[in-house]
A and B are shown apart, each in its own frame.
Chain A
Amino acid sequence: MEKWRATSNLRRSLKSILNRQLSSVSEFRYLNEKRSCQSSFNLIRDCKSLGQVNAIQHRCFSSASTLVQRNPSFSTLNSDDISYFKGLLGEKSVIQDEDRLETVNTDWMHKYKGSSKLLLLPRSTEEVAQILRYCNSRCLAVVPQGGNTGLVGGSVPVFDEVIVNVSSMKNIISFDKVSGILVCEAGCILENLISFLDNQGFIMPLDLGAKGSCQIGGNVSTNAGGLRLVRYGSLHENVLGLEAVLANGDVLDMLGTLRKDNTGYDLKHLFIGSEGSLGIVTKVSILTPPKLSSVNIAFLACNDYSSCQKLLMEAKRKLGEILSAFEFLDTEAMNLVLHQFDGVRNPLPASMHNFYILIETTGSDESYNREKLEAFLLSSMEDGLISDGVLAQDINQASSFWRIREGVPEALMKAGAVYKYDLSLPVEKMYDLVDDMRIRLGDLAKVVGYGHLGDGNLHLNVSAPEYDDKILEQIEPYVYEWTSKHRGSISAEHGLGLMKANKIYYSKSAETVQTMASIKKLLDPNGILNPYKVLPHSLNS
């Protein structure tokens, strides 16, 4: 993992450390000093003592071989640029204030921090187009940003890229009540869309823990998965059209609202999941499912992982069309949540179980669905698949179950340092990795496994009080190699961003990646859109 940290105050100690390091590092320093005397480094984790900071410095430079260097072909901002943007967008949408820049430069996990000097807040597609046209002509690197809730460092600058944040583009353009097709701007917050649709009797096809802050443009750009994928499918299936702005300022209007349209190559799929590296998504047209009245949710306990798998098989068979979510968490995850949050109580307090499963069903007939779910649960209990479980009796209890599952990432953040991995693996093998990691790490750190069992998606998290290279060595590249061996994906839904930009070969062939690079070169010849991310750095000419 690449990290950029330091502070200008520590230049003195920096010098002594640097003198001990490899030549590639001095190259790094040289480039940065050449750039500007301003703080080219930033401290990320709160460091309580200088000694700790030195350790972090050391760690940063010890992985010098994977260090990224600022692309020298990108220009630096000057006052003419600022005046141009102010003229184009107005004073209020051009932010240079240090405090505001601080937040947009840092990602949600406080792991990655850039040093951008400029935040732009366009309010329309036309403004985005003009910004990109100008930046392309000046060769200024740009980072598209929405809710900044990404987990792989893809939404924040690496160096001084200009941040183009679409939060001000938050209008709902239209909604067709008959077909359920929603057209809205990219800056709409997911939770707001969910509330809007609620009034109309519909729901969004995706739901994630970050819904209070994440924006639909970002969701689409990262092909976000979420909790309901097992029922409604991925965004590739639900997005009917989108409008995107290319690097040179051209606006691609692919904002169709048609269910079927086989005219030519379906380019929108390129943008869905490209993490802002091929274009900035400005509008989305999405198919929303009707809101069904009967939602039931059960919180269950299983003794071992094979029971969880069998339960999943049975659920898909017996609950069939009404199954809308199938999530799992292990004891470690449950303990973490109970420990970190006050208002949360364990629905199954009798004893600590090994695995917890959350099953949600959504259907139109309350009594029929409830009976179906109860029958399934009781027969699973008789077959020994479930050791205990509770069924929510009202919406409040249902929310409390979701709070536990959705709260795991937050609890991990609060517990200290966390190494996050998001892997797609064959269901039978999934938990073997967690067990392996526990053996490998021993007492060094706590290994937590949870995720969307229904989609074969494991969120493997390693939690430790502090970041430590000894822990990182045990994890990478072992986790990636393990995943690759089982033909899994090293990033099921989080994307590659900065964190996994050089890891794509674990899951994709060289020829495939080469073709991706060609497409990137075609759509963004100067490489200004979200540089240093998604594709390996070696491919940037």
Chain B
Amino acid sequence: MKIMVPVKRVVDYAVKIRIKPDKSGVETQNVKMSMNPFCEIALEEALKIKESGLAKEVVAVTMGPSNCVDTLRTGLAMGADRGIHVEAARDLVPLSVAKVLKKLVEVENPGLLILGKQAIDDDCNQTGQMIAALLGWPQGTFASKVVLDKEKQVATVDREVDGGLETLCLDLPAVITTDLRLNQPRYATLPNIMKAKSKPIKRYTPEELNVEIKSDLEVVQVTEPPKRKAGVILSSVDELIDKLKNEAHVI
């Protein structure tokens, strides 16, 4: 079985982000970029499944301008077998990503599609669900545990939902999106980094795949949230009561 793992290049999670002066978006020049943490977890899960013998190949996929290949290299260094890079302008919306993925799935025929639940730059949480709908495949989102049964060709997925944990049984092929507690991604070891240099990366363009990339959304403005006002240290209970009564109007 082949597992396909889409990964996204985003601003590193630990970086303090700044808004561009023209408010058109987040500053990405000279800022550390890395693989989306949820995508790392997805890749780690795919590698674990491969190591347990239930899958033969793990293919990492990314979409975007040429610098996205760095993320693919990271994926290959972690242990993925092949990479696919779809050239496109930046900021693809989830629907476009899902459409491209659908075509790739038709080419590659994976038995499992594992994605991160959301990207930390747009927080959309849509790609996994959309691709499942486009393909007509069952989906197990927010997975915190995945168990595959090769004979019955099903995947048992524990989902983290608001009320607790929900367990689903999905027929393969299926789409799984990963949540934080699924696993702890491995480090890229030097021997693997060395091997990654010789692993193949296939390039596509959206035209080759017959997909039209157009966005129905336009970002009008990006602003920072309002700054939190400083607290006030009061000197007595009387002052507290006075403020609660006359300023906050809560008593």
A residues with a Cβ closer than 8 A to B are 198, 293-295, 298-300, 345, 347-348, 366-367, 374, 377-378, 381, 386, 388-397, 399
Residues of B within 8 A of A348 (CB): 189
Min CB distance, A73 to chain B, in Å? 44
Residues of B within 8 A of A388 (CB): 189-191
How far apart sit A348 and B187, CA to CA, in the bound complex (Å)? 9
Residues of A within 8 A of B74 (CB): 393
Name 6 interchain pairs, CB-CB below 8 A, sorted by A: A300-B190, A381-B190, A388-B189, A392-B187, A394-B37, A395-B15
Residues of B within 8 A of A391 (CB): 77, 187-188, 190, 193
How far apart sit A168 and B70, CA to CA, in the bound complex (Å)? 47
A378-B34 in contact (CB<8A):
no
Residues of B within 8 A of A377 (CB): 190, 193
B residues with a Cβ closer than 8 A to A are 12-16, 30-32, 34-35, 37, 40, 70, 74, 77-78, 184, 187-191, 193-194
Q: Which 5 A-B pairs have the closest CB atoms?
A: A395-B14, A394-B34, A390-B187, A389-B190, A293-B30
A389-B14 in contact (CB<8A):
no
Q: Kindly report which residue of chain B lies nearest to residue A300, judged by CB atoms.
A: B190
Min CB distance, B187 to chain A, in Å? 4
Cβ 8 A contact of B189, one of A198, A390, A396: A390
Known contacts: A394-B13, A394-B35, A395-B13. The answer to whether A347 contacts B194 by CB under 8 A is no
Residues of B within 8 A of A293 (CB): 30-32
A298-B190, A393-B78 known; 11 new pairs, CB 8 Å cut-off, are A295-B32, A348-B189, A390-B187, A391-B77, A391-B188, A393-B77, A394-B12, A394-B14, A395-B13, A395-B14, A395-B15
A395-B32 in contact (CB<8A):
yes
B187-A347 in contact (CB<8A):
yes
A393-B35 in contact (CB<8A):
yes
Residues of B within 8 A of A366 (CB): 32
Min CB distance, A356 to chain B, in Å? 13
A386-B187 in contact (CB<8A):
no
Could you say which of B16, B70, B189 has the most chain A C-beta atoms within 10 Å of its C-beta? B189
Known contacts: A293-B31, A381-B194. The answer to whether A397 contacts B13 by CB under 8 A is no
How far apart sit A503 and B95, CA to CA, in the bound complex (Å)? 72
Residues of A within 8 A of B70 (CB): 367
B14-A396 in contact (CB<8A):
yes
Residues of A within 8 A of B37 (CB): 394, 396
Cβ 8 A contact of A374, one of B15, B31, B193: B193
Q: Kindly report which residue of chain A lies nearest to residue B186, judged by CB atoms.
A: A390
A397-B187 in contact (CB<8A):
yes
B13-A390 in contact (CB<8A):
no
How far apart sit A391 and B190, CA to CA, in the bound complex (Å)? 7
B194-A395 in contact (CB<8A):
no
A396-B193 in contact (CB<8A):
no
Residues of A within 8 A of B190 (CB): 298, 300, 377-378, 381, 386, 388-391
Residues of B within 8 A of A345 (CB): 184
How far apart sit A397 and B190, CA to CA, in the bound complex (Å)? 15
Q: Kindly report which residue of chain A lies nearest to residue B16, judged by CB atoms.
A: A198
Residues of A within 8 A of B30 (CB): 293
Min CB distance, A309 to chain B, in Å? 20
Min CB distance, B20 to chain A, in Å? 16
How far apart sit A392 and B191, CA to CA, in the bound complex (Å)? 14
Residues of B within 8 A of A198 (CB): 16
Min CB distance, B29 to chain A, in Å? 9
How far apart sit A525 and B34, CA to CA, in the bound complex (Å)? 59
Residues of A within 8 A of B16 (CB): 198
How far apart sit A378 and B195, CA to CA, in the bound complex (Å)? 11
Min CB distance, A262 to chain B, in Å? 37
Min CB distance, B188 to chain A, in Å? 6
How far apart sit A294 and B15, CA to CA, in the bound complex (Å)? 12
Min CB distance, B36 to chain A, in Å? 10
Q: Kindly report which residue of chain A lies nearest to residue B10, judged by CB atoms.
A: A394
Q: Kindly report which residue of chain B lies nearest to residue A296, judged by CB atoms.
A: B32
Residues of A within 8 A of B189 (CB): 348, 388-390
B188-A393 in contact (CB<8A):
yes
Residues of B within 8 A of A378 (CB): 190, 193-194
Residues of B within 8 A of A294 (CB): 32
Q: Kindly report which residue of chain A lies nearest to residue B75, judged by CB atoms.
A: A393
A395-B12 in contact (CB<8A):
yes
How far apart sit A54 and B21, CA to CA, in the bound complex (Å)? 69
Residues of A within 8 A of B191 (CB): 381, 388
How far apart sit A345 and B183, CA to CA, in the bound complex (Å)? 13
Min CB distance, B48 to chain A, in Å? 15
B187-A393 in contact (CB<8A):
yes
How far apart sit A138 and B77, CA to CA, in the bound complex (Å)? 69
Residues of B within 8 A of A395 (CB): 12-15, 32, 34
B34-A393 in contact (CB<8A):
yes
Q: Kindly report which residue of chain B lies nearest to residue A291, judged by CB atoms.
A: B30
Residues of A within 8 A of B194 (CB): 378, 381
Could you say which of B14, B16, B40, B193 has the most chain A C-beta atoms within 10 Å of its C-beta? B193
Min CB distance, B21 to chain A, in Å? 15
How far apart sit A300 and B32, CA to CA, in the bound complex (Å)? 23
Min CB distance, B27 to chain A, in Å? 12
How far apart sit A399 and B13, CA to CA, in the bound complex (Å)? 12
Could you say which of A300, A348, A374 has the most chain B C-beta atoms within 10 Å of its C-beta? A374
Residues of A within 8 A of B14 (CB): 394-396, 399
Q: Kindly report which residue of chain B lies nearest to residue A367, judged by CB atoms.
A: B70
How far apart sit A395 and B14, CA to CA, in the bound complex (Å)? 6
Q: Kindly report which residue of chain B lies nearest to residue A298, judged by CB atoms.
A: B190
Min CB distance, A130 to chain B, in Å? 28
Residues of A within 8 A of B78 (CB): 393
Residues of B within 8 A of A374 (CB): 193
Min CB distance, A49 to chain B, in Å? 43
Residues of A within 8 A of B193 (CB): 374, 377-378, 391
Q: Kindly report which residue of chain B lies nearest to residue A401, judged by CB atoms.
A: B187
Could you say which of A198, A293, A386 has the most chain B C-beta atoms within 10 Å of its C-beta? A293
Min CB distance, A322 to chain B, in Å? 15
How far apart sit A391 and B76, CA to CA, in the bound complex (Å)? 13
How far apart sit A137 and B77, CA to CA, in the bound complex (Å)? 69
Q: Kindly report which residue of chain A lies nearest to residue B78, judged by CB atoms.
A: A393
How far apart sit A381 and B15, CA to CA, in the bound complex (Å)? 31
A390-B32 in contact (CB<8A):
no
Residues of A within 8 A of B12 (CB): 394-395
Residues of A within 8 A of B35 (CB): 393-394
Min CB distance, B12 to chain A, in Å? 5
Min CB distance, B189 to chain A, in Å? 5
Residues of B within 8 A of A389 (CB): 189-190
Q: Kindly report which residue of chain B lies nearest to residue A392, judged by CB atoms.
A: B187
Q: Kindly report which residue of chain B lies nearest to residue A389, judged by CB atoms.
A: B190
How far apart sit A298 and B78, CA to CA, in the bound complex (Å)? 15
How far apart sit A150 and B12, CA to CA, in the bound complex (Å)? 35
Min CB distance, A295 to chain B, in Å? 7
How far apart sit A295 and B33, CA to CA, in the bound complex (Å)? 11
Min CB distance, A469 to chain B, in Å? 44
How far apart sit A389 and B192, CA to CA, in the bound complex (Å)? 10
Residues of A within 8 A of B32 (CB): 293-295, 366, 394-395
